[in-house]
Amino acid sequence: MVEAEKAKEILEDSARPKTFAEYTEDYIVTKELSRAIRPVTASGYRSYLKKVIGTPLGSKRICEISARDILAWEKGLVADGLSRTSLSHIHVFAKQVCTHARKMGDLQSNPFDCVDAPASGSKPVNSLTTAEVAKMNRALEHFGQSALAVGAKLALMTGMRQAEICALRWQDVDYERRVVHVTHSLSRSSGRYVLDRPKTSGSIRDIPFGDRLAAILSSRKRYMAEEREGIGLAWDDALYVIGSPVTGKPYSPQTNGMPSHGPPPSQARRAYRLDSTT
């Protein structure tokens, strides 16, 4: 009898029109279970969900949401100090939820179609001047063939993203054709970093390099080979270019192979984060 009552409650709950907050949470769970999104993307979606829960829009049944409700919600987020860029991202996500609801037959039309997406704030390009590049290179000389120095030089000379540099392996460096094959990135999943494919096919590319970078990479490779030989380990092209030569593990974007001694290479850290130049 008790089980029958519980089954009835579950059936009634599933038939009950859900609030926008409830529907949004279900949408995220569905995406996670189908592995349609990465863990880091799901984490971002849940941060957006927090901006929905507890609001008049979030408490309203999804089938009753109007364009006025959306405008009032977004106006409230801005009043609470949310940046225009963050608002733009949340708007796109919320519209995705309603698009999904329409496909599922839970909405006749998408109310977000009647609301203009908020303009995102312009992001300044974090590029270096010629003088700053020269200063950077001088600072990097103090760090030899360390992972940090080589990673920073890769950023300067190729424009690769931080996560791409951390994921670069020696098998991706083609000395004969003088190109670096960018095929993976290092992404965070469940508290640890894993090798992953880029989000877009356009991120998979070949980047040519010249004699100077070839010499830098060759020196780094010799250094790593000597380190491994010293402890009786054979060379492996699957090793990460700026990873540990001993354990074979990559350095995370937070670690960057930072040495525990010497002056803090603030310039190197900046070069290592030149994501906006790509």
Asked if residue 205 lies in contact with residue 182, where contact means CB atoms within 8 angstroms, the answer is yes
Strand order from edge to edge, sheet including 205-208: 173-174, 179-182, 205-208
Please give the DSSP secondary-structure letter assigned to residue 189: E
The class that CATH gives domain 2-114 is: mainly alpha
Topology classification of domain 130-277: hpI Integrase; Chain A (1.10.443)
Amino acid at 143: F
In the chain, list all ranges with CATH 1.10.443: 130-277
Give residue 266's pLDDT: 44
Alpha helices in the chain, H assignment, sequence order: 2-15, 20-33, 39-49, 56-59, 67-79, 84-103, 130-140, 147-158, 162-167, 211-230, 266-271
pTM of the model: 0.58
d(CA 90, CA 109): 19
22-73 pLDDT per residue, tens? 999 999 999 999 988 888 889 999 999 999 999 999 999 999 999 999 999 9
In the chain, list all ranges with CATH 1.10.150.130: 2-114
81-90 pLDDT per residue, tens? 999 999 999 9
